[in-house]
Amino acid sequence: MTDALHRETSAARELARKTMALIRPVNRELRDLAVASARRGDRRLVGGRELVTRWKRLADSDEYQSIARAAAEKAARAARLSVQGAGGRKLREALESFPAAEVAKLQRQFVRQQEILLVRTGRRQHRAMNKLLRETPRVGRDVKQLEAMIREQLSRGDTRIRRKVRNVANNEILTLSSRLRHAQYKHVGIRWAKWVTQGDTRVRSKHRGRNGRLYRIDRGINGERPGEPIGCRCFEEPKLPDDLQ
């Protein structure tokens, strides 16, 4: 399972990196629009709505769809249950009958969620820049000072977006993998699993107390399952039913 976590993390990093590569040119356009608006003395971002439309087109583009689908496929491969040394032929046969349609459905949901998150990011950027142009006092400031403030604001915003994109990519990949694993568990009749931590100092104290505990997969422990809380690196070891031993 730790190998699966490594593959999931790798998929999340690649998704975040490629997403940022698509976002940067649009952010540069936003900066240029904001600077032009400031030079004219506008109190709002002129052309900003067209830029929000650009974000929507970006989310719907073949390039971004391909990036999101590739990430979903990597998550699906990472989530595929291993049968080596734990169930042999019976478990392998049960997993082979797992419907591909279920995998495709969860992958489509993942891609759609990525589109929504990307558009929301663009709208937040647009609102933040409108607020800066509207609320920044003009008294005692020349255009160059205002331009510097815009560039600083966008630089901070770019840092926040990078962090947000990275965190969201990681969380969404782990969530997709978790859903795929649990769908497989349900399909083959696995109902119980054991909570396992990474065993290092980064493990949350609450999760350290759960290490080794058995829980119902459909319930978790206090409503949580390993890997689901944001930033959680714990994983689960499924308990095979007797007929798959």
pLDDT at residue 136 in the model: 65
pLDDT at residue 84 in the model: 45
Whether the Cβ atoms of residue 188 and residue 226 lie closer than 8 Å to each other: no
- pLDDT tens, residue by residue, 30-87: 888 888 887 787 878 877 778 778 888 888 999 999 999 999 988 888 877 654 444 4
Whether the Cβ atoms of residue 123 and residue 52 lie closer than 8 Å to each other: yes
CA angle 60, 65, 67 (to 5 degrees): 140
pLDDT at residue 206 in the model: 93
To 10 degrees, what angle do helices 48-60 and 2-40 make? 160
**Range 127-134 average pLDDT:** 81
CATH architecture designation of domain 2-188: Up-down Bundle (1.20)
Q: Give dist(CA 242, CA 227) in Å, integer.
A: 26
Domain spans of the chain?
2-188, 189-245
DSSP string, 159-182: HHHHHHHHHHHHHHHHHHHHHHHH
On the question of pLDDT at 211 being above 60, the answer is yes
Residue 121 C-alpha from the chain's centroid: 13
On the question of pLDDT at 210 being above 90, the answer is yes
Of the pLDDT bands very low, low, confident and very high (cuts 50, 70, 90), residue 142 is: low
Buried b (16+ CB within 10 A) or exposed e, 64-73: beebbeebbe
**Range 196-219 average pLDDT:** 92
